[in-house]
Amino acid sequence: MESHMENAKDPRPTVDAEQSLKDRVWDALRECYDPEIPVNIVDLGLVYEVVIDDSLAGEANVYVKMTLTAPGCGMGPIIANDVKRRVQMVADVKNVRVDLVFDPAWNPGMMSDAARLQLNMF
């Protein structure tokens, strides 16, 4: 008799053999948004660093260092949890650590041109 768990599908998307783990992690980060701004956190310039330790095949540890648009932003824990959840869904990722930092302080100059266009800042 098969258990329910044996029939459960892995919620992680299938892996594109052409796309590196690094690219898949960055794509996952581009799916994260500050709920108050309609631009993803990568284009906003909130992600300062991504470190991937993939020395064990299929069990990568990912470290994300990021900031918020303002130190007092009440959405910080929600955004950090969304980052962790989305990156953990990337195939081959086992652990994710997200650190919120405020040095250097974020400023609008850190946004991509696409973000500036989207927010009519040109």
Q: Give 53-104 pLDDT, tens digit per residue.
A: 999 888 999 999 999 999 998 999 999 999 999 999 999 999 999 999 999 9
Could you tell me if residue 105 is inside a domain?
Answer: yes
Q: Which residue has the higher pLDDT, 113 or 6?
A: 113
pTM of the model: 0.83
pLDDT of residue 23: 98
Contacts of 56 (CB under 8 A, 6+ apart): 94
Segments forming the whole domain that contains residue 51: 18-113
Q: Which residues of 1-26 are buried (b: 16+ CB within 10 A; e: fewer)?
A: eeeeeeeeeeeeeeeeeeeebeebbb
**Could you give the number of structural domains in the chain?**
1
Could you tell me if residue 35 is inside a domain?
Answer: yes
Checking if the pLDDT of 16 tops 70, the result is no
Could you tell me if residue 98 is inside a domain?
Answer: yes
